[in-house]
Amino acid sequence: MLDLILASAHHLAVFTLVGLFAVQFVLVRPGLSGARLKQLARIDGAYGAAAGIVIIVGVVRVIFGTVGYEYYIGNHAFWGKMVAFLIVGLLTIPPTIAFRRWAQAGVEQADYAPPANEILASRRFIHLQAGVLLLIPIFAAAMARGYGG
């Protein structure tokens, strides 16, 4: 029963993370300003929290799940998934910094709109995240079918 609970929690956290990512993907575009800046910063914070939950539940699942940690530490698909998740996490840093700066500027100046080049730079990082994010379920599917061991 514990394994089912952990697997369910892990999948729900991942779907939450992807949903929050999709909202960012839609919001970060030219013309972003006003209340959307603060909303984007809050969504980004929730995205980070969801990533933290994915990591925590994932670690607990590796340690206490039915399969056992030995399966994971010796599986190349698992490590591919971990590297992809790490890269996605690193790619979130520049946009997160920009979102926080934009939200603060929006508080200080009601009609603030981020410069177009900063929005485009953040969009590039978001698109890179999307590309790497696609690898995670591929590695997970491979791992679930016994590949990588």
Q: Profile the chain (149 residues) by mean pLDDT over runs of 10 residues.
A: 94 97 97 94 98 97 92 95 98 98 94 96 98 97 90
132 in Cβ contact with 88 (< 8 Å): yes
Cα(138)–Cα(113) distance, rounded to whole angstroms? Answer: 38
Class of residue 73 by CB neighbours under 10 A (exposed 0-12, middle 13-18, buried 19+): exposed
User: Tokens 């698109």 correspond to what residue?
Assistant: 127
61: CB partners within 8 A, 6+ apart: 3, 6, 7, 10
- Residue 148: the pLDDT is 87
- Residue 43: the pLDDT is 98
The residue extents of the domains of the chain are 2-144
- Residue 110: the pLDDT is 87
* Closest CA relative to residue 91, chosen from 48, 29, 60: 48
What one-character DSSP code corresponds to residue 12?
A: H
CA distances from 36 to 4, 27, 39, 104 (A): 38, 8, 5, 12
Cα(62)–Cα(3) distance, rounded to whole angstroms? Answer: 10
- Residue 27: the pLDDT is 96
